[in-house]
Amino acid sequence: MPRSMSKKNKRRVASLAFFAFSFCIFACVSFAIEPKLQSLSEIPDKDSLQVAADKFLAVFEIDGDDFIAKVVRDEQAATLGLYGWQRIETLFPLEYRNELVQFNVLDGKRWAGFFSGDGANDVDRKGYRLSIAKFLLLKESNRHNPSRSITPRRETLDWTLVHEMGHYLCLRSDSIEQFSQVFDGDSKPQPRRREEPDDYAKDGSPKLKGDFVTSYAERTGGDEEVVECFTTYMLVANLPTNDSLVAEKIRFFDDVEGMPELREHIQKYKAEE
């Protein structure tokens, strides 16, 4: 059922307090500065990180912007991870990732990445764990340039990085619950979902009109649909202005505190038209 404005505002004030400091940061600091690329040799090995699952080819403990400890099971994967983290630093200012304590490079091709939203990690600190697949990091030919133009298409490194960070930020901001109340409630029920939709762009570009933003969002629903809409909101050059359901879902994030500012920052790296 729809909530009253007063309840809605109270929830947002309570759940989005972590963004309050960010506005001062955005007002005073330019985030266009290229982050430092660490070298593997300057990051200490930490035997206790060996408890991490074998599927993690490289495990890094994070403190703010820096990797402070590591376990390397595949040196190429670990080196790729340094570039992946540098891209995350470029796209997401610190206050949008300050509870991440572990970053992994993931083996195999079953998962492009995942976020451990239950708070499980291997560094024995309170915080969250983010993992990105080696094959995606290897696939990104321009990975050496952290300030490269963003790529707003599924099955790319940028889409996966922003999608997985979206899980983290949507959790912190209570956006999944708010989204479901708006679009799964009696006021805006979801259309029927198809198990094998075939009318999405072959290059992975999201839909900006219709009912669902991507095939994955339509097939999977739930948290994944919310995060696919978040990723589209952050990466597409022009937000849709039409009155379709999917356009409303994308523009939902305009009303989540801190998200318009983050979009403005990420759009600094959009491709020139």
Q: What are the pLDDT digits (tens) for 120-173?
A: 999 999 999 999 999 999 999 999 999 999 999 999 999 999 999 999 999 999
Name the residue among 205, 83, 75, 215 with its Cα closest to residue 139: 83
Question: Of 12-16, 27-31, 119-123, 183-187, which gets the smallest average pLDDT?
Answer: 27-31
The pLDDT, as a whole number, for residue 6 is 46
- The larger pLDDT score, comparing residue 181 to residue 150, is at 150
End-to-end CA distance of the chain: give it in Å, rounded: 42
The pLDDT, as a whole number, for residue 7 is 44
Give the confidence band of 3 by pLDDT, cuts at 50, 70, 90.
very low
Name the residue among 149, 172, 161 with its Cα closest to residue 15: 172
**Three-class SS state of 88:** helix
CB atoms within 10 A of CB 91: 23
The pLDDT, as a whole number, for residue 26 is 45
Name the residue among 209, 202, 198 with its Cα closest to residue 244: 209
Contacts of 229 (CB under 8 A, 6+ apart): 179, 213, 217, 246, 249, 250, 252, 253
Cβ atoms 73, 106 nearer than 8 A: no
User: What is the rounded average pLDDT of the residues 194-202?
Assistant: 93
Q: Is the pLDDT of residue 19 over 60?
A: no
User: What is the rounded average pLDDT of the residues 59-82?
Assistant: 98
Q: What is the mean pLDDT of the chain?
A: 89
Q: Is the pLDDT of residue 256 over 70?
A: yes
Tokens 């963004």: give the residue. Answer: 19
* pLDDT tens-digit series, residues 85-110: 999 999 999 999 999 999 999 999 99
**Three-class SS state of 72:** strand
Cβ atoms 50, 31 nearer than 8 A: no
- The larger pLDDT score, comparing residue 167 to residue 3, is at 167
Please give the distance of CA 110 from its chain centroid, rounded to a whole number. 18
